[in-house]
Amino acid sequence: MTDAMTDLKSLLKDPTLFETRAYIGGAWVDGDDGTFDVTNPARGDVIAQVANLSRAQVAGAIAQAEAAQKEWASWTGKERAAVMRKWFDLMMDNADDLATILTAEQGKPHAEAKGEIAYGASFIEFMGEQAKRVYGETIPGHQRDKRITVIKQPIGVAASITPWNFPNAMITRKAAPALAVGCAFVARPAKETPLSAIVMGILAERAGIPAGVFNVVPSASSSEIGKEFCENPAVRKLTFTGSTEVGRILLKQAADQVMKCSMELGGNAPFIVFDDADLDAAVEGAMMCKFRNNGQTCVCANRIYVQAGVYDEFSKKLKVAVENLNVGDGLEPGVTTGPLINQDAVAKVREHIEDVTKHGGKILTGGDTHEKGGTFFQPTIVTGVTQDMKVATEETFGPLAPLFKFSDEDEVIAMANDTIFGLASYFYAKDLSRVYKVAEALEYGIVGVNTGIISTEVGPFGGVKQSGLGREGSHHGIEDYLEMKYICMSV
């Protein structure tokens, strides 16, 4: 064990939460393909060497899930809700440690990581409650001797592939509805952030979730494991969060089995400030929306459109707020902005900034790697941005706030909708008719009005166009893990 690994374990109130093995069928398992390194993006050191599972081992996990699922589905919703509540309570009781693990492997500030743990736990609490309310219906017969009933049953084994940016919440947002209705679950976390997934296995075991119902299969191989999930006939549901590019690959692979898929994919969120907006509120919303997780979320403002009459004032106010951000190691107190996940992410931000300045835009603040080095980057604002620049069509996934100027509603709606994506959008305005017109005109699954934060377990999160399929969270989110059965009975 390296010093950095000892260091992480020593930071935990409960050191037994530091686990590097896979969790399969209730057993803790080493990888047939050795281990892979997990590094702390703030420090660059290896904090863990995690079990590297082979495709055969993942197939074994799917078999264990299939074996456990029937018994789990026979529990009442109330019985499943009880153990899910214990899972929720264990998450909240250990939130500090789960956040320390999350910050160490992903980089976000500890306070923000604690927020993610609470957000992730909220899905387990909410869907645990929903477990008691999976209702069917009766339908008046079409003939005098016919009686029609509709029941809902769990789809079976669900498999998940999740990204590194929300290593806890992206798993619980899927596992919670799946387990609530009686599915079994096999989670393959991102290789950058497996520890946050593994620790959910520890807490599942402690909560009394039966062996094989919740499984965690870390692996450095992504495509091979994805193929196993898509080709294994025991998997009846694939749920993915990540880029649209990978979502397309998985959908093509899943088509052979006509597998049910949920896809939470990329975004390119417009953030619109009208001339009747409360500018201080708009700046506050833009800061939260753009710089949460250092800009590494699929719902971050990727384009900031400001109406001409308030452009200069908004730019000045935003610059003050951006220059107040405190960039550093997320495990240090007072840090508001951590590192980017890797050098590829740094290169993407730099590429977008260079493209803006090459085409006549200007850097208002920031614009380069941070003095702390590594993958730290200066929070940046660029002005004079136009629709023909890369940032207008590509997701930056970093701390870059590009300001576009617009004249009127029709112009900005057209610009905002000019993208293949359709996940989140935001605008600040006071005029009620404008609010209704713009909210209805934006082609997005999510619209934030006078707010920059839309993430909650009670809302149906998801995108239109090439930002995804299905919804996660809310009472709608549970439907994605159910099959509907129509029973026609002759009496």
Ligand X SMILES: NC(=O)C1=CN([C@@H]2O[C@H](COP(=O)(O)OP(=O)(O)OC[C@H]3O[C@@H](n4cnc5c(N)ncnc54)[C@H](O)[C@@H]3O)[C@@H](O)[C@H]2O)C=CC1
Q: Which residues bind ligand LO4QSZO4 (CB under 6 A)?
A: 165-166, 170, 241, 297-299, 455
Question: In terms of Cα–Cα distance, which of 476, 470, 482 is closest to 77?
Answer: 482
Contact 12, 101 (CB under 8 A): yes
The rounded radius of gyration (Å) of the Cα atoms in the chain is 23
Binding at 223: pick from ligand X, ligand LO4QSZO4, none (beta carbon under 5-8 Å per type): ligand X
Alpha-carbon dihedral of residues 400, 406, 412, 417, nearest 10 degrees? -40
Taking CB under 6 A as the binding criterion, the range among 7-15, 82-90, 107-115, 259-267 that sits at the site for ligand X is 259-267
Binding at 164: pick from ligand LO4QSZO4, ligand X, none (beta carbon under 5-8 Å per type): ligand X
Contact call for residue 266 and ligand X (CB under 6 A): yes
Please give the residues from 378 up to 397 whose contact with ligand X meets the rule CB under 6 A. 395, 397
Burial class of 449 by CB neighbour count within 10 A (0 to 12, 13 to 18, 19+): middle
Report, in Å, the least distance between residue 300 CB and ligand X.
9
Question: In terms of Cα–Cα distance, which of 380, 437, 390, 393 is closest to 269?
Answer: 393
Report, in Å, the least distance between residue 97 CB and ligand LO4QSZO4.
21
**Residue at 192: amino acid letter:** E
Report, in Å, the least distance between residue 187 CB and ligand X.
10
Burial class of 489 by CB neighbour count within 10 A (0 to 12, 13 to 18, 19+): exposed
Contact 299, 459 (CB under 8 A): no
DSSP 420: S
Contact call for residue 469 and ligand X (CB under 6 A): no
Binding at 455: pick from ligand LO4QSZO4, ligand X, none (beta carbon under 5-8 Å per type): ligand LO4QSZO4
Please give the residues from 79 up to 118 whose contact with ligand X meets the rule CB under 6 A. none
Among the listed residues 100, 165, 337, 455, the single contact to ligand X using CB under 6 A: 165
Report, in Å, the least distance between residue 241 CB and ligand LO4QSZO4.
6
Decide whether 205 or 264 has the Cβ nearer to ligand X: 264
Decide whether 134 or 298 has the Cβ nearer to ligand LO4QSZO4: 298
Distance CA 23, CA 51 (A): 10
Decide whether 65 or 178 has the Cβ nearer to ligand LO4QSZO4: 178
Determine which one of 66, 105, 125, 264 is catalytic. Answer: 264
Report, in Å, the least distance between residue 58 CB and ligand X.
11
Site string for ligand X, 219-248 (x = CB under 6 A): ---xx--x--------------xxx--x--
Tell me the residue ranges of DSSP E strands in 162-300. Answer: 184-188, 214-216, 235-241, 260-264, 269-273
Please give the residues from 416 up to 445 whose contact with ligand X meets the rule CB under 6 A. 423
Distance CA 434, CA 418 (A): 20
Binding at 395: pick from ligand LO4QSZO4, ligand X, none (beta carbon under 5-8 Å per type): ligand X
Could you tell me the end-to-end alpha-carbon distance of the chain, in angstroms, rounded to an integer?
A: 69
Decide whether 57 or 337 has the Cβ nearer to ligand LO4QSZO4: 337
Contact call for residue 163 and ligand X (CB under 6 A): yes
Q: Where are the alpha helices (DSSP H) in 43-184?
A: 55-74, 77-93, 95-106, 110-130, 169-181
Contact call for residue 265 and ligand X (CB under 6 A): yes
Contact call for residue 409 and ligand X (CB under 6 A): no
Contact 421, 445 (CB under 8 A): no
Decide whether 31 or 154 has the Cβ nearer to ligand X: 31
Taking CB under 6 A as the binding criterion, the range among 152-160, 163-171, 357-365, 473-481 that sits at the site for ligand X is 163-171
Largest interatomic CA distance in the chain: 79
Q: Identify whether 129 is a catalytic site residue.
A: no
What are 407's two structure tokens?
């004249």
Question: In terms of Cα–Cα distance, which of 107, 228, 119 is closest to 171?
Answer: 119
Residues carrying an active site annotation: 264
Catalog residues that contact ligand X under the rule CB under 6 A.
Answer: 161-165, 190-191, 222-223, 226, 241-243, 246, 249-250, 264-267, 298, 395, 397, 423, 468
